[in-house]
Structure 1
Amino acid sequence: MTPFDQPDRADQHPPAGNPFAPPVDNPFAPPSSRPVAAPGAAAPSGAPAAPETSISRAPGAPFGPPAPAPAGWGAAPTPWPERQVPQPAPLPSGAPGRRGARGRLRAVWVAPLLVLAVLAGALGGALAERALDQGDRLVDAGLPVTAQPGGAARPPESVAGIAAAVLPSVVSIQVESAQGSSSGSGFVLRQDGYLLTNNHVIAAGTADGARIDVLFADGSEEPATVVGSTRDYDLAVLKVDRAGLVPLVLGVSSEVAVGDPVVAVGAPLGLEGTVTTGIISALNRPVSAGGQEGPAFINAIQTDAAINPGNSGGPLVNTAGEVIGINSAIAQPPGIPGAAPGSIGLGFAIPSDQARRTAEQLIETGAATYPIVGVLLDQSYRGEGVQVSSESQNGQQPVSPDGPAADAGIRAGDVIVTIDGRPVTEPDELIVAIRAKAPGDTVTLGVRTGDEGTREVRIVLDERTSE
């Protein structure tokens, strides 16, 4: 059983078979944010084995050994054979001459051809003398050039146009701490130096003696401080001492649809300025991602754009270049615990509507809040819907006294089957659907008590400060 208000970290791991993995960044990557080859690093000794729903922190394996040189490579070259120039055959002698009309016609055609041949030979000799230097190499090869020396124009809505507009505002983030190093992505939120990224990207940077460095698209670097962060929503706001930055616009994620084209930008495996494309492949995907510090619950946008370790915190943008999601997690094939699958076409982003609300709170107060219903959910229940626990857990009652659920008449053991008309079958589905709301919002739950029919219950969500 898991508390619905503030889930217990030890009990909130996704159920077996859940393909959603934790955040995509490698906390043990080498310090350099610009590796020569694909980085590969193992987790430090003593790190706990990742469960089925976790992703390995190693971003990839190094390239294999070079292929062997072909046989005979490096041997002395074989000289070319002497060129044999064929000699022209002599014209036959003694041929009887012919005069008349056909002879005159042949003379008319041959004479101009002879003149042209002489002129072509003279011109070719002059050109060759001017075009060749003493090394028998062309001074000017004279190859054709494009009719548009400035390059073809790219429409703003093309991938190239979107990339050109977005890349200058995307940053790479490097964290150094006593526990090791980690890296990720982020983007400019305000022109006065505020940046947005994932909490798991900079979590180690909040420790004493840790350092966070931000690498900009122009190659410059700035140290950053943490303005505020929330583990529950996996978001963090950073501040650098720089003005005049170009922010990205936060779009309206509630207006996107499955099939919309999207572009992901970030630094996967430390490769800054990487652009990948795809579509929105699903909406409202319940994702429980996180590490040892505890899970984050995301009502995620799913995309098939290639996302790899290091993309976390980077933007997922639409064709207008507006941010509609913050890339945060990738799925892992079941049965491969601890493996680093890389991109398998199942990436997840925090919707921009949620990111906007949380970022505003972090900038204004340094902390964020999330909505609560006031019930504990039974994780062992396997029937239809999601069941409210029938017993107390760790001293917390199944239904919080004077909480929103209690005021609405929900009792211990009740089964919640829908939220705002949408069916729910797993506890995580209900949790992320509630977390996607704001405190003070009203939701309608479909609730069943015992053998009674389903009734609709309207609940005004309460508020709790996030960790």
Structure 2
Amino acid sequence: MTDDTRSFDASDRPEFLPAEGPRPGWGNPAGGPAPQYRRPGPEFTPHHTTGPYQDPFGDQYGQPPGPPPTQPAGPPPPVNAYGMGPSWAPPPGGAPPQPSRDTRDGKGPRTGLMAFLAVLIALVAGAAGSYGTYLLSGSSAGLDPNYVIPSAPAGTTARPPESVAGVASKVLPSVVSLEVRGGSESGTGSGFLIKGGYIVTNNHVVAVASTGGEIRIKFSNRKSTTARIVGRDPNSDIAVVKPEETFGSPEVALGNSDSMVVGDPVIAIGSPLGLTGTVTTGIVSSLNRPVEAGGESGRDSALINAIQTDAAINPGNSGGPLVNARGEVIGVNSAIATLGSGSSLGGQTGSIGLGFAIPVNQVRRIAEELITTGSARTSRIGISIDQQYQGQGVRIAAQAERGVEPVTPDGPADKAGLRPGDVILEVDGQPVSDSRELIVTIRSKAPGDQVVFKYQRAGSDRTTTVTIGAAPAPSAQPS
């Protein structure tokens, strides 16, 4: 064997016995110099029993042929030193050395194998890293290829008849939208179908078509047809038109507006801003509100004794129904209060929660008269009002103006005993504070109705019953 220097850990070989001092008679089997085993510190020669043995790197050593070299004197090893069992310890100078693997003699791992293992480990580590990155990045990005949102449980569109949805589904088939053209003007509005295939709407919706224009009606089933004006009343802002076909649409039920009280729930249906079939809800926020309704330019304006509501009403709702919780029409939407003009929608502003409807009891009478005669009567009592009076109530003028007597001779007021200068305080128990309130209150009554007036004369309060009369009816002008 050639001279070779190796590092070696005696704990790897149980053949080594505890050292008790120098042992004679062993060395290199070939008779050469004994191999040197190096540790950090002084050199030493391992002690071995007689007979062949395999060194940690595979070399065979036989019976030592002669005495070993003289060993340097040193202190005895400590008892139970680490790594070699009882009564053995390495020579002084450090811990047992670790064997190094030498590939020069072909006995350890080769460079190619080590390179292959390095590549394999790199691939495995890369794959593991990529998968870990996917898990981390996928989770943080919210991606999950197996993610599914559960389907909603089976539902139903059926609603109780008394609910808003139930009332709307009942009334919507009877509500129509109108497109009106006449000369250089055009507009849109709403209406509703009543008995006999007639449609009720506002006068200011159809007025532009009264001199040869065109009216087209669109029903909730998306079918449309033309219509003609049966009659219109500028004083009440009510008109009736007759479509060529109704396509089987149902008529709406008319209720009793006198039974409504403040706080009752109501629903407005129509085509605001051209959006057909729009439903809004609210309450009756006031009653007997004197409001001026009519054309945008002031043409054909009317004073109405309106139902006030906070249900959203916008341009295009005009002529549509205001219904109660039973789906009965209790008013015709006719006007809205605004904070001013200048919006982008034709100079009109939207709803601010103050909408006004003509009470259906007045609408019923006007519609009947328009259908039967082509015109409607305007209720009156035959007095002139003192517009300069600033006190409580409404005072009848004291003297004639422009040849008109303060109290029309033989008129309803004259027959009831009212005189010039009398101050009217209440009508049917409802206080009146100005001329507008008195006018709309009288116009809301039908000719022939008897109404109790409370008035003041010469400082004393009195009452009288007035039978409502009517102004001369204008000639019928159906188109």
Identify the TM-score tier after normalising by the shorter chain: 0.5 to 0.7
Match of 2:167 in 1: 162
Say yes or no: does 1:220 pair with 2:223.
Answer: yes
* Cα 1:379/1:289, change in 2 over 3 Å: farther
How do 1:267-306 residues align onto structure 2 when only pairs under 5 Å count?
A: 267-291=271-295, 292-306=298-312
- Report which stretch shifted further, 315-324 or 159-168: 159-168
User: Alignment partner for residue 455 of structure 1, among 452, 462, 467?
Assistant: 462
Deviation per residue, 1:193-227 (Å, 9 max, x gap): 2100001100111113x111111112111110111
Kindly name which structure, 1 or 2, has the bigger radius of gyration based on alpha carbons: 2
User: d(CA) in 1 for partners of 2:382 and 2:315?
Assistant: 36
Give the structure 2 partner of residue 407 of structure 1: 415
Task: Find out whether 1:197 has 2:201 as its counterpart.
Answer: yes
Change (3 A) 1:412 1:219: same
Q: Aligned pairs, how many? A: 334
The CA deviation at 1:393 is 3.0
Choose the corresponding residue for 2:326, options 303, 320, 333. 320
Q: Return the offset for 1:395.
A: 2.6
What pairs with 1:246-395 in structure 2 (closer than 5 Å)?
246-291=250-295, 292-333=298-339, 340-395=348-403
Please tell me the residue identity of whatever aligns with 2:129: P
1:334 and 1:183, CA in 2 relative to 1: closer, same or farther beyond 3 A?
closer
Q: Which has the higher contact order (CA 8 A, sep 6+)?
A: 1
- 1:264 & 1:179 partners in 2: Cα distance? 30
- What amino acid does structure 2 have at the position aligned with 1:253? S
Q: Does 1:234 align with 2:237?
A: yes
In 1, the alpha carbon distance for the partners of 2:461 and 2:228 equals 50
TM-score by length of structure 2 reads: 0.65
Contact 2:309 2:355 (C-alpha < 8 Å) held by counterparts: yes
Q: Does 1:211 align with 2:214?
A: yes
Distance 1:189 1:141, change over 3 A: farther
Q: Which amino acid aligns with 1:86?
A: G
Measure the CA separation in 2 of the matches of 1:300 and 1:460. 22
**Given that residues 173 and 212 in structure 1 are in contact (C-alpha distance below 8 angstroms), is that contact kept between their aligned partners in structure 2?**
yes
**How many Å apart are 1:152 and its aligned residue?**
4.4
Q: CA deviation at 1:87?
A: 8.7
- Structure 2 SS opposite 1:187: strand
Q: Give the distance between the partners of 2:435 and 2:350, measured in 1 at CA.
A: 28
Structure 1 residue 433 corresponds to structure 2 residue 444: no
User: Residue 393 and residue 295 in structure 1: after superposition, are their counterparts in 2 closer, same or farther (change >3 A)?
Assistant: farther
Q: Secondary structure at the match of 1:430?
A: helix
Structure 1 vs Structure 2: percent identity of aligned residues? 49
For residues 438 and 158 of structure 1, the distance between their equivalents in structure 2, rounded to whole angstroms, comes to 34
Please state how far the C-alpha of 1:253 moved relative to its aligned partner. 0.9
Q: Which amino acid aligns with 1:157?
A: E
d(CA) in 2 for partners of 1:201 and 1:436?
Answer: 21
TM-align CA RMSD: 2.6
CA distance in 2 between counterparts of 1:444 and 1:200 reads 33
Q: Distance in 1 between matches of 2:362 and 2:383?
A: 23
2:150 maps to which of 144, 151, 156: 144
8 Å contact kept, 1:329–1:349: yes
Consecutive unaligned residues of structure 2, counting only runs of 5 or more, are 1-125, 133-143, 475-479
Paired with 1:269 and 1:334, the residues of 2 have a C-alpha distance of 18
State whether residues 179 and 204 of structure 1, in contact with CA within 8 Å, keep that contact through their aligned partners in structure 2. Answer: no
- Paired with 2:394 and 2:208, the residues of 1 have a C-alpha distance of 35
TM-score by length of 1: 0.67
Return the offset for 1:141: 7.8
**1:104 maps to what in 2?**
none
Question: Shift of the alpha carbon at 1:335?
Answer: 10
Summarize the Cα distance change of 1:231–1:142 in structure 2 as closer, same or farther, 3 Å threshold.
same
**Counterpart residue identity of residue 176, structure 2:** V
Deviation string 1:236-266 (CA, Å, 9 cap, x unpaired) is: 1110122533011001111111111111011
Shift in CA distance, 335/228, structure 1 to aligned 2, threshold 3 Å = closer
- With 246-255 and 335-344 compared, the bigger mean Cα shift is at 335-344
> Counterpart of 1:369 in 2: which secondary structure?
coil
How many Å apart are 1:368 and its aligned residue? 1.1
Structure 1 counterpart of 2:431: 423
Counterpart CA distance in 2 for 1:404 and 1:155 is 49
Distance 1:461 1:324 in 2: 23
Change in 2 beyond 3 A, CA 1:334/1:240: closer
CA–CA distance in 2 between the matches of 1:374 and 1:322? 35
5+ unaligned residues in a row in structure 1: which ranges?
Answer: 1-82, 90-136
